[in-house]
Amino acid sequence: MNSELRLALIASDSPKAQAAAEAMADEHDWVPLEQADVAVVLGGDGFMLTVLHMMLDADRVIPAYGINHGTVGFMMNKPRNARPIAQRVARASKLLVAPLEMTATTWSGEVAHFYAINEVSLLRETRQTAKLEISVNRKVRLAELACDGILLATPAGSTAYNLSANGPILPMGSGILALTPISPFRPRRWKGAIIKDTAEVEFRVLEPEKRPVAVVADQKEVRDIAHVRIVANREHSLTLLFDRHSSLDERIFAEQFQV
């Protein structure tokens, strides 16, 4: 990657990120995001997701190099490095992430369209369990799942909510998605499925007025849904930049050996 690339500096509102942005202000001749070739993102994983969604919504996606000034920083690079930022970005390795494209239809017929980088999750809204019909490639695979919810996770998101719900860790570049139930009641023994990321996944809410369900695409929620359709969208693939030997795919692989 050329060290002469135009870089934009974007920091979260946290005191740590703001202090880091101030310290880096004179390190490079920064440009506005709309003029940049690469976004340098200061904050945590949540803020990185916010920036990536902002680029998707603006239909202008550029590579993002994150520096961790949050908590976990799974999608970020370590803050301490002796190299100037331009050299770090120029030497970084690329990792492509294909977001999920979700279309949700509510009881009233309203249609919402969002992207998800980590996962799309369906969650019950009340004390009543959700009842869902699950189809893959327009074929019904599970006629009725009674549960607290269900999620479809990408490899990038497989170590987040998906892992907490006892879903599998997926290697980056594996070309698969994790379909993971959340507190399944019936069928109790169903533990989920691993499917190709070329598949079209649909959820239909059964008894939606009695058992209302919300859908969440990363950070965006739609309530009182009737139907959800999800596909992976490679045309809007995101590029994350990592310092060598510290990429997201290595971190996800290493998570499988944590005890």
The answer to the question of residue 23 being in a domain is: yes
The confidence score (pLDDT) of residue 244 equals 81
- The verdict on 88 and 110 lying in the same domain is no
Percent of the chain at pLDDT exceeding 90: 80
The answer to the question of residue 135 being in a domain is: yes
- The verdict on 209 and 122 lying in the same domain is yes
- The verdict on 205 and 149 lying in the same domain is yes
The reply, when asked if residue 70 is annotated as ligand binding, is no
- The verdict on 89 and 115 lying in the same domain is no
Active-site amino acid positions: 45
Indicate which CATH number applies to the domain containing 202: 2.60.200.30
The reply, when asked if residue 119 is annotated as ligand binding, is yes
- The verdict on 135 and 226 lying in the same domain is yes
**pLDDT tens per residue, range 85-102:** 999 999 999 989 999 999
The confidence score (pLDDT) of residue 229 equals 98
The confidence score (pLDDT) of residue 5 equals 87
Q: Domain of 131? A: 100-234
Q: Which residues contact 153 (CB under 8 A, 6 or more apart)?
A: 118, 119, 160, 161, 162, 167, 170, 177, 178, 180
The reply, when asked if residue 161 is annotated as ligand binding, is yes
* Three-class DSSP category at 139: strand
Q: Mean pLDDT over all residues of the chain?
A: 93
The confidence score (pLDDT) of residue 199 equals 97
- The verdict on 186 and 161 lying in the same domain is yes
Q: Which residues contact 184 (CB under 8 A, 6 or more apart)?
A: 145, 146, 147, 190, 191
The answer to the question of residue 2 being in a domain is: no
- The verdict on 77 and 58 lying in the same domain is yes
Looking at the structure of the chain, the number of domains it has is 2
- The verdict on 211 and 247 lying in the same domain is no
Indicate which CATH number applies to the domain containing 44: 3.40.50.10330
The answer to the question of residue 1 being in a domain is: no
The confidence score (pLDDT) of residue 152 equals 98
Q: Residue 231 to residues 30, 43, 117, 198, 255: CA-CA distances in angstroms?
A: 36, 29, 12, 7, 26
Please give the Cα distance from 97 to 100 (Å, whole number).
10
**pLDDT tens per residue, range 144-154:** 999 999 999 99
- The verdict on 247 and 227 lying in the same domain is no
The reply, when asked if residue 45 is annotated as ligand binding, is yes
The reply, when asked if residue 146 is annotated as ligand binding, is no
Do 158 and 176 touch, CB atoms closer than 8 A?
no
- The verdict on 23 and 133 lying in the same domain is no
The answer to the question of residue 144 being in a domain is: yes
- The verdict on 189 and 114 lying in the same domain is yes
DSSP label at 54?
Answer: H
The reply, when asked if residue 57 is annotated as ligand binding, is no
pTM: 0.87
Which regions of the chain are under pLDDT 70? 1-3, 259
Task: Tell which residue, 88, 46, 53, 54, has the closest CA to residue 71.
Answer: 46
